[in-house]
Amino acid sequence: MNAKKIDGILATHAYPGRGIILGRSADNKYGVVAYFIMGRSGNSRNRVFETTDDGIRTRAFDESKMVDPSLIIYHPVRKIDAGLIVTNGDQTDTIRDFMVAGKSFADGLRTRCFEPDPPNYTPRISGLLAADGSYKLSILKSADGDPACNHRFFYEYDAPIAGFGHFIHTYQENLDPLPSFEGEPRRVICDAPNAQAMADLLWANLNEDNKVSLYVSYVDLATGEADTVIVNKNV
């Protein structure tokens, strides 16, 4: 499968929704993690990322304008001994709780399904960067918009290749209702030398009207230390 440049994918997609990138840096020293959120409604756009003790959380930029926090306020990134969990919803906490209890990434996600937001039924996308640099991705989605059927897909990358990664996002196209992501995670080039360069690349190519917040982390595979960048449109 040919790898694509992530800037080209983003520049031609006005609304991929929320997206996760996991991969390996070109120098083979870092695990690469990126997560972004976008929004079309005022409620979705009224958000920022802020750091926590073990990762990041979303919060309202203007609390007085928050309408319904149920699907937009959550912890996208949480660090545990087994690695770094990144998701587009409160399944971050489900995965964390299961893994702390000695169970697996997939075990936690088998208790969850797509988001209850008809007519879109937004997929739940999730990732895990392990301490050794291997990674997993998952998507839980409805069957072509039919809420009667939940599909769960899991992808495991045991030996990542330096300079490459995989990208998964929530929406296939910018339509109404929003169709779910289709196919396997996209294989992408991860040749930015550090977190800031990767953040600059992604932020510049996310749709200006719809982008909201971005998180990028380069995790040193030898020490576990992370170089992290957060960008918020609302400042």
List beta partners, residue 39: none
Confidence of residue 18 (pLDDT cuts 50, 70, 90): very high
Q: Which amino acid, residue 57?
A: R
Cα four-point dihedral sign 220, 223, 224, 227: negative
Please report which helix (H) or strand (E) contains residue 93, including its range: helix 91-100
Average pLDDT over residues 9-22: 97
Residues 6+ apart with CB under 8 A from 10: 16, 202, 205, 206, 207
Q: What is the pLDDT of residue 1?
A: 60
Q: Is the pLDDT confidence value at 82 over 90? A: no
Residue pair 233/212 in contact (Cβ under 8 Å)? The answer is yes
Residues in the chain: 235
Confidence of residue 216 (pLDDT cuts 50, 70, 90): very high
The predicted model scores a pTM of 0.97
Residues 6+ apart with CB under 8 A from 196: 216, 227, 229
**DSSP annotation of 122:** P
Distance of CA 157 to the CA centre of its chain: 16
**DSSP annotation of 65:** G
pLDDT tens readout for residues 20-36: 999 999 999 999 999 99
Q: What is the pLDDT of residue 106?
A: 98
Question: From CA 12, how far away is CA 55, in angstroms rounded?
Answer: 30
70 is written with which tokens? Answer: 């149920």
Confidence of residue 2 (pLDDT cuts 50, 70, 90): confident
As a whole number, the mean pLDDT across the chain is 97
**DSSP annotation of 102:** T
CB atoms within 10 A of CB 235: 6
Residues 6+ apart with CB under 8 A from 136: 105, 106, 127, 128, 130, 154, 155, 156, 157
Task: Give Cα separations from 5 to 10, 123, 183, 189 (angstroms).
Answer: 9, 24, 18, 5
